[in-house]
Structure 1
């Protein structure tokens, strides 16, 4: 017994000592990581005759995340620093006026962001070229998205053994009905809108005729804009580009050169030699380059940068991600968080106008209505302009429609004015597959409305349909009031149909095509401001404030993306079923991913 207690005591002491040592080591590692990460905040000195190195190997969010661990490759995070669209645009603009920056080296990028985001960056590069500085693009693999961006460059080079994708756009939809049937789950659908196809993957095995019509229309619009942009910069007839892609005439790098889509076949060392020549660097020395993410902390200033001491401000309120109740974060729109930001901007006497930046496929119709109310109240007290990103569809359009003016990119995905609800009937799964049955009592006829262990009765379905109809009526009325159109007209172009920004302009759903800076300029003009500061809302939380709230979820998401690859979209779609069960939804059919 004495020996037993001795071993137990030794084990306990060992555990305590090990825990203490691990704690001390952990603190040391954490301090080292923080020290390394925060060193990135130090001022970056840019050498003379430098190039701005622009490379995007991760999606571009609306704002640069407040994350000191970015770029360290920890916890499954991307090794590349994530830079937000706000800093991308600001840095390209700053480089245009920086005498030390002689040009831009546009390096291979995956361009995993939406087409409107790519459009914003492309337009910034076009503006940069007005300074007379050069842009050189190089890649071993050109995706269509990156080539669209690179087509503005003075010289476009590809590795002699590289890959050049140029075959047109396609949009694929994953249908889950077969899997649900095997599981014994019936998706009970209540919706309004002929084209509201968000529910189709759960009840069909292929596209409906109406959905095929709308997808053909908006994909065609996106593709036409894509070809038009390339044709203008590469000086190639648009019909010729269509023929090249349609017949897949570019299969090897030499084909891309033959059809003048690129300017040369070069290895990276040859491209670097050209950069040295253009920046007057000796061939034996290294190219002087500054990464675009690091350039944020450079000492260079923008000639148009707001260094004014004016009290007048324009507030930019960011609303990015799916719409739901609660606070939200950088990647989701919480009705409470965005509403509070709008109220704060509205009640601040120094804020003379508001720009609402919307990048959302929609979500909860209730949360969308809560935000719409705050936009309407802001509209009644001061100018509010909406700038649309990759998406401003369904709930994303709902929260935008009350603004004074709406600005979208030609390839923004918008519209999708419609409402739906999904209630699963899992009776067969429980009874036939699992052998589980249910029984109970209730005090009212509809006390168990929404129960998933049985099908809806006709009376229950009628109640839910009336609720969805009422939601759609509210939606179309809000849009009609905001756009100064009849509700009948909005209903005719609504019905859940998705439109591109170009199409939406013709329909009167947006007021002009442009970027976030155009929206800010419109806001300044409406508020009669010539001297002002930009303030951003909601305020970004520090990394350590977010650590316990969402860090583990972010790590999980990144690890799943890494493991599942393209199949992650299927996982997200299946997971989305549970979200759609909670309440009526105003969301897009699916995220548009053009290949």
Structure 2
């Protein structure tokens, strides 16, 4: 007993000492990281700006030292802001220390519209006379869409290039829900509102197939047109190559077809960069990535400018998860503060959202409308600005979108599960109800909807849809009947949306800022980005918490993790929804 107590005491003391040492080590690590970030970024002479796109591209990302941080399986995945990429390319145009840009993406974790904006920025950069060279061991379709603007595209002699066109694959849960004994009861307005189809059908409806084929054709046509122009090929030639599936073609044939300029190994590309920058073959090429280069201040030489244009970011589901997405109360407060700030002369609302809560969309719409009454408001649409994402855009003076943006989906719906069969017949769980009034147990999830409940829900949905199309009609100077004709929940590519009046102009966020300055009659201005980003340490802890939860689920579910996330979003949804029928991801 004496030995046991002795060893137990020694163990406790050891754990306390280890905890204290670990605590101070953790403080030391964070202090070292934070002090490192305080050091100014130095750009060497004859440098090359590297765009490798290893991180996921989001609208805006905090410049932190914690990207790619990992510890014992828990990690904070790196993200790069589109704003930093575009600003870095623009800054590099006039930076004498930057001689050119080196593109080396194998794939790109971003939507097509995001890639289109980066591509346009690179075309503008080339007007400076500086080079843009690209190299890869392989190029995904989106990566090739980007690098096709380069002065020279080099591929590894054993490399691969993907060019195959676009397709859309949907997953349907109807049979699985039937086996479980769960019925999804749907109330909607709009024959194209296909968000509910995975729960009530085994395949796509004719209306859904029509809208999908239409926007796929529009997005693909824009990509083909751009690639053909950059590579001096015809669109027909690009489509023929896509039909032949280029990823199985020998690299030499890719050169003959005009998709690739030359074949070389990585060391040969490095030597080429040395020649372009005038670096001795024995020396390394001075290179800097976007995350570091973004920290280099751009010198305007005009001192502090009072007049500002606010770029307000709205990214993610509206009133979605607890940690991510658009929070209607917070975003509406940000817009309200920008409206009241006399130094802010115009607002650019950057929307990248598939929608979400109809009520949350209405809250944000109201602040956009009030802001437009005091100063110019321009909406810049990113990859997706649909359903609730369009709702919050409708009141703006001007709506701008990239040609590959997905928008529209003007419609709302509600879903109420009936899990009575699962609980009663399969699990043997029963319930009994005592009520004070006729409908005290309204919208129970353990029984079918009554005729009264269904009629009330349908009327609620119809009122919500009527409000939605009314907001669009007011903002777009159309009648409700005109909006309903192009609404009905239908999804559009922006090229089609422009034809029917849902989009005014093509352009990215940079173009939107220029238009805002023009409308506000500003010559000198500075940009303020809102809402303010959170503290990097706070973001790290949030990321680690979220990653810790998802790490084990991803590990167990593998490729099916995305399906789990979609179902979880359905379960967590509250109220009627103004949301895209599905999440669109172009590879």
Please give the alpha-carbon distance, in whole angstroms, between the structure 1 residues aligned to 2:257 and 2:338: 52
User: Which residue is equivalent to 2:580?
Assistant: 588
Conserved 8 A contact 2:47-2:97: yes
Once the two structures are superposed, residues 267-316 of structure 1 have per-residue CA deviations (whole angstroms, 9 ceiling, x without a partner) of 111111111111111222222111121112236x35xx485423221111
The yes-or-no answer on 1:207 pairing with 2:198 is no
SS at match of 1:406: strand
The answer to whether structure 1 residue 31 and structure 2 residue 37 are counterparts is no
1:311-341 Cα distance to aligned partner (Å, 9 max, x none): 2211111111100179x76x41001110110
Give the corresponding residue for 2:87: 90
Number of aligned residue pairs: give it.
Answer: 586
Structure 1 unaligned regions, length at least 5? none
Q: Does 1:103 align with 2:96?
A: no
Match of 2:285 among 287, 290, 297: 287
Partner of 1:139: 136
Match of 1:222 in 2: 219
Asked if residue 319 in structure 1 is aligned to residue 289 in structure 2, the reply is no
Contact 2:66 2:76 in 1 (8 A): no
Q: CA deviation at 1:23?
A: 3.4
Q: Quick one: distance in 1 between partners of 2:82 and 2:535?
A: 19
- Shift in Å, 1:213: 0.3
Quote how far apart the aligned CAs of 1:64 are.
Answer: 1.7
Q: 1:110 to 1:37 in 2, by over 3 A?
A: farther
- Measure the CA separation in 2 of the matches of 1:196 and 1:490: 15
Partner of 2:373: 380
TM-score using structure 2 length: 0.95
Q: SS where residue 332 of structure 1 aligns? A: coil
**Equivalent residue in structure 2 for 1:56, among 44, 53, 57:** 53
Q: Would the aligned equivalents of 1:34 and 1:69 in 2 still touch at CA under 8 Å?
A: no
Secondary structure at 1:168's aligned position in 2? coil
- Provide Cα deviations, 1:111-165, integer angstroms capped at 9, x if missing partner: 1211111111111111111111111111112100000000000111111112211
Deviations 1:457-497 (A, max 9, x none): 11111111111111100000000000001110000000001
Please give the alpha-carbon distance, in whole angstroms, between the structure 2 residues aligned to 1:237 and 1:558. 46
**Do the aligned partners of residues 191 and 8 (structure 1) sit closer, same or farther apart at CA in structure 2, a change above 3 Å counting?**
farther
Q: Is 1:366 the counterpart of 2:359 in the alignment?
A: yes
> 1:306–1:532: 8 Å Cα contact kept in structure 2?
no
Per-residue deviation, 1:74: 4.0
Q: Quote how far apart the aligned CAs of 1:556 are.
A: 3.2
Using the alignment, how far apart are the partners of 2:373 and 2:567 within structure 1? Answer: 41
Deviation at 1:543, TM superposition (A): 2.7
Q: Distance in 2 between matches of 1:130 and 1:104?
A: 13
Deviation of residue 399 (structure 1)?
0.5
The reply to whether residue 533 of structure 1 matches residue 526 of structure 2 is yes
Shift of 1:38: 5.0
Task: Tell me the distance in 2 between the aligned counterparts of 1:345 and 1:306.
Answer: 26
Counterpart of 2:487? 494
> C-alpha offsets along residues 176-198 of structure 1, whole Å, 9 cap, x if unaligned?
11211111111111111110101
Q: What's 1:255 paired with? A: 253
Whole-angstrom CA distance in 1 between matches of 2:229 and 2:27: 51
User: CA distance change for structure 1 residues 279 and 528 in 2, over 3 Å: closer, same or farther?
Assistant: same
Q: Is contact 2:56–2:78 with CA below 8 Å preserved after alignment?
A: no
Structure 1: distance between partners of 2:164 and 2:494: 23
**SS of structure 2 residue aligned to 1:111:** coil
Shift of 1:348: 0.9
Instruction: Identify if the C-alpha distance between structure 1 residues 562 and 428 changes in structure 2 by more than 3 Å, giving closer, same or farther.
Output: closer
Q: 1:156 to 1:550 in 2, by over 3 A?
A: closer
Match of 2:169 in 1: 172
Matches of 1:34 and 1:13, distance apart in 2:
31
Q: Secondary structure at the match of 2:304?
A: coil
Aligned to 2:442: 449
Return the offset for 1:33: 3.9
Change (3 A) 1:284 1:590: same
Q: For 1:154, which of 146, 151, 155 is the aligned residue? A: 151
Match of 1:190, SS state, is: strand
Cα distance in structure 2, aligned partners of 1:256 and 1:345: 51
Q: Cα offset for 1:406? A: 0.7
What displacement does 1:10 show?
A: 5.1
Change (3 A) 1:444 1:532: same
Alignment correspondent of 2:264 = 266
Cα drift, residue 25 of structure 1? 1.4
Q: Secondary structure at the match of 1:356?
A: strand
CA deviation vs aligned residue, 1:38-61 (integer Å, no higher than 9, x gap): 514421211111111111122201
Q: In the alignment, what sits opposite 1:462?
A: 455
The alpha-carbon distance between structure 1 residues 66 and 310, as it changes in their structure 2 partners (threshold 3 A), is: closer
Conserved in 2, the CA contact under 8 Å of 1:67 and 1:542?
Answer: no
3-state SS of paired residue (1:63): coil
Question: Which runs of 5 or more structure 2 residues have no equivalent in the other structure?
Answer: none
Q: 3-state DSSP class of the match of 1:45?
A: coil
Does 1:439 pair with 2:432? yes
SS where residue 195 of structure 1 aligns? coil
Q: TM-score, normalised by structure 1?
A: 0.94
Once the two structures are superposed, residues 392-418 of structure 1 have per-residue CA deviations (whole angstroms, 9 ceiling, x without a partner) of 100000001001111111011110000
Post-superposition shift, 1:535? Answer: 1.2
Q: Matched residue of 2:156: which SS?
A: strand
